Amino acid sequence: MSLSHYYGQFINLLAAILLLLSFAMLGQRRILSLINLFMAQGAVLCASTVVVALTTGQSHLYWSALITLVLKVFLLPWILHRLIRRLNVKWDVETLINIPTTMLIGIVLVIFSFNLALPISELAGTVTRSLLGIAMACVLLAFLMMITRSKAVPQVIGFLSMENGLFFAATSATYGMPMVVELGIALDVLVGTIILGVFFFQIREKFESLDIRHLEQLKED
């Protein structure tokens, strides 16, 4: 049993935690907790990147880990915290579908994505065997969360959580994308979040609420 075997198990553990966090977010009603969960996800992501970097010895993955740490564990949660404080957002989150149903759908999704990823996992001979399935599940769960939330901030957190899933896929499942791509992705996420922040203020200014149900005027009648 080599060290890499433990690394592999460790990554699998991290992946499981990631999935768990995704579920937790799906079931979470409070915004602050959501942000915290998101932060935790970022931390797990960072850890998994570091482990992969250790396993494979690819130095640029350390940079990725660093970016993740800065961006997803510190910067984005900080921005989000600031936002909800500045905007005085209500703490409770309303969902469009009730939580147990959502969870049930979530479980189906996880099974579905494992099923999808199964043939692929068999192809990959590395430590990252089943990670793709988990990453996909994370993405789909985040997607589900976006669908079920009726306020802007949780939706955005869902969006960012989806990015986390993607990032996890990018780093862990494939041992990291080329650096330039990762930098680009990071930049986009950052700019996106800033723009979102701008938006929140504008929406808030116009509608005096961040409830996206106000944003249903443009439609076919």
Q: Which residues contact other proteins by CB under 8 A?
A: 58, 96, 109, 112, 115-116, 119-120, 123-124, 132, 135-136, 139-140, 143-144, 146-150, 152, 155, 159, 162-163, 165-166, 169-170, 173-175, 177-178, 180-181, 184-185, 187-188, 191-192, 195-196, 198-199, 202-203, 206-207, 212-221
Closest distance between other proteins and the C-beta of residue 94, in Å?
12
User: Using an 8 Å Cβ cutoff, are 140 and 111 in contact?
Assistant: no
Residue (38 or 159) nearer to other proteins, CB: 159
Residue (27 or 197) nearer to other proteins, CB: 197
Closest distance between other proteins and the C-beta of residue 195, in Å?
6
Residue bearing tokens 């130095």: 59
Residue (33 or 174) nearer to other proteins, CB: 174
Residue (1 or 125) nearer to other proteins, CB: 125
Closest distance between other proteins and the C-beta of residue 48, in Å?
15
Residue (85 or 219) nearer to other proteins, CB: 219
